[in-house]
Amino acid sequence: MILFIIAYVAGVLTIVSPCILPVLPFVFSRAGQPFATSVLPMLIGKVVTFAGVATLAALGGDWAVQANEAGRYVAIAMLAVFGVMLLSPQVAAVVTRPVVALGNRLSQRAVGQKTSVGASLLLGVATGLLWAPCAGPILGLVLTGAALHGANVATTFLLTAYAAGAATSLALAVLAGGKIFAAMKRSLGVGERLRQGLGVAVLAGVAAIALGLDTGLLARLSYAGTTNLEQSLLNRLRGAPAGANRTIASNGKGPATDDARQAYRSSLPVEGTFPSLDGAVEWLNSEPLTVEELRGKVVLVDFWTYSCINCIRTIPYVRAWAEKYRDQGLIVIGIHAPEFAFEKRIDNVKRAVRDFKIGYPVAIDNDFAIWRAFGNSYWPAHYFIDAEGHIRHHHFGEGDYEESERVIQELLAEAAGSRRNDGGIVKPEAKGAESAPDFANLQSGEDYVGYMRAGNFVSPEGVAADEARDYSVGDLDLNQWGLRGNWTVGPEQATLNRSGGSITYRFSARDLHLVLGPGTDGRKLRFQVKVDGVAPGPDHGSDIDSNGSGTVSETRLYQLVRQSGEVRERTFEIRFLDPGVEAFVFTFG
């Protein structure tokens, strides 16, 4: 229920975002009209259409993308005609003769006269097909959930709540604007000029949407506006973590008896029961495990995915706990739930498990069956389960390692029927990307390269979705980035089509990481990194040398910069000497 509320509030906040500008002309064309028969039907059409189209987009199939694109083309054409009709009564008269049902309702009575419910509803449907609000944290959370859990009724309701919030603020704006319009129309000739002005505004809105400005320039303008408000709302109302993203070896001892367990009972509350572990497509380091087999054991369930920087930084602790407490009855189970398509490839996960030296069982949850059973929403997420099969504690994101280890000790003591024996806290040696972040100097956040979740992209050409395009990079402000060369930007990644292309990012953090892959042919692809225009020297990351040279040999997270001295704002550039590389997401530490 809380997520529905904050989705609605996030929609309300879009009124202060430049992303809403292309929609405003269509909405204000109904100002001064009866609210019940003109404004309200238009807003209802907009809400229902947006929720339906966004739900289709969450399905992710090619047919859904094609349906959405076809709908956009029809809507752009229809609203362009609508704008011309507002500009010219003569054109309206010609158009409305053969299409009275559509044209007459949309144009002749657009301003200052009685209009039909059907016309307003149709106008709302058209704007709903085109409206693409800035993907702030809350809408991002909804769409990510749809991708993970599958598009369902709950997803559609959340999207409807978001659109309804936007419609509410637009309705208030139109009601206020209606009074202004009414006062202006009392002056001789103003009504006609007002109608023509709306026609110009509608055509400008259509042009902005057709050129992609609604999701490009305007999205970038809004980044510093509503994003912070939305993130604050999430943190306050839902308790979102700061550092989260979005086989059994018997110890030779039987479980403690029920009488022994009663001798010591931890004060940790019961949060739920251990959900099913069914649904994994494969298990690594173990045969498939069941909840029944694990009764009598203390279990730590770790949801992770191998290119997630927050997950990578927790691995040394999870690995250390598994080793330290194995003989006392702790079972650690990693649930690998992929964020990107390449993380669904089992060979990639096997390689990551080997590289991270993970020896505990890992369930490959490509279909998110276990994820849904836990009702999980984060990477990483830790669930602590007692010997009786009850969830007693959880932690989302990285950090709070001492508290988590104390919980393990408490539950092991409870299982043994004795008070916790303070055996100290692990302090694993973490290297490279596994090292803890430098939060004191961290001013850059996660940025995706694919157009589905991209932010802060400032190449002047704008994004051409799924099409090859030549890009360039100008001057960058902090946390802005751009492409140079010929790239094809897809929903998850950008793919370099010709050698010599590069990515530039203006950042401020100790560490810079980039998830890269060699593409379909799997060749080793060479690249060169520069920081402020020169080789990084002592500021090189663990995956390149001091000259900035490196190769992409597998799809994973690469640490490219680690500032060795004072952390300050820098310009990062990575230039690829071979075509075919895929770039997914920037992360920082």
Rounded Cα gap, residues 277 and 335, in angstroms: 9
Query: Which of 344 and 214 is assigned the larger pLDDT?
Result: 344
pLDDT band at 219 (very low <50, low <70, confident <90, very high): very low
Task: Give pLDDT tens digits for 22-46.
Answer: 566 666 666 667 778 777 888 888 7
Q: Per the CATH hierarchy, to which homologous superfamily does domain 258-434 belong?
A: Glutaredoxin (3.40.30.10)
pLDDT, position 227: 47
| Residue with the two structure tokens 């692990």 | 426
**Highest mean pLDDT pick, 43-47, 189-193, 321-325, 450-454:** 321-325
Phi, psi of 465 (to 5 degrees): -65, 125
Rounded Cα gap, residues 454 and 585, in angstroms: 9
Nearest by Cα to 246 from 165, 340, 152, 155:
340
Rounded Cα gap, residues 194 and 184, in angstroms: 9
Query: Which of 33 and 244 is assigned the larger pLDDT?
Result: 33
pLDDT, position 255: 40
| Residue with the two structure tokens 């972040």 | 437
The lowest-confidence range among 5-19, 353-367, 409-423 is: 5-19
pLDDT band at 65 (very low <50, low <70, confident <90, very high): very low
Torsion of CA 197, 201, 202, 206, to 10 degrees: 150
Nearest by Cα to 46 from 132, 126, 124, 163:
124
pLDDT, position 357: 96
| CA distances, 58 to each of 1, 69, 71, 352, 369 (Å) | 21, 14, 16, 28, 18
With residue 411 as reference, give the H or E element that holds it.
helix 401-416
Res 113 pLDDT > 80: no
CB 358 within 8 A of CB 442: no
Rounded Cα gap, residues 355 and 401, in angstroms: 22
pLDDT, position 194: 52
SS3 560: strand
CB 271 within 8 A of CB 302: no
Rounded Cα gap, residues 80 and 276, in angstroms: 54
Mean pLDDT of 268-290: 95
DSSP secondary structure letter of residue 463: -
pLDDT band at 455 (very low <50, low <70, confident <90, very high): confident
Indicate where the chain has its CATH 2.60.120.260 domain(s). 439-588
| Residue with the two structure tokens 């202006």 | 184
pLDDT, position 431: 87
Res 365 pLDDT > 50: yes
Indicate where the chain has its CATH 3.40.30.10 domain(s). 258-434
Res 464 pLDDT > 60: yes
CATH of the domain spanning 439-588: 2.60.120.260
Mean pLDDT of 284-299: 96
pLDDT, position 128: 66
Mean pLDDT of 147-169: 71
Mean pLDDT of 159-184: 71
pLDDT, position 316: 96
| CA distances, 190 to each of 184, 245, 403, 494 (Å) | 6, 53, 69, 50
DSSP secondary structure letter of residue 537: G
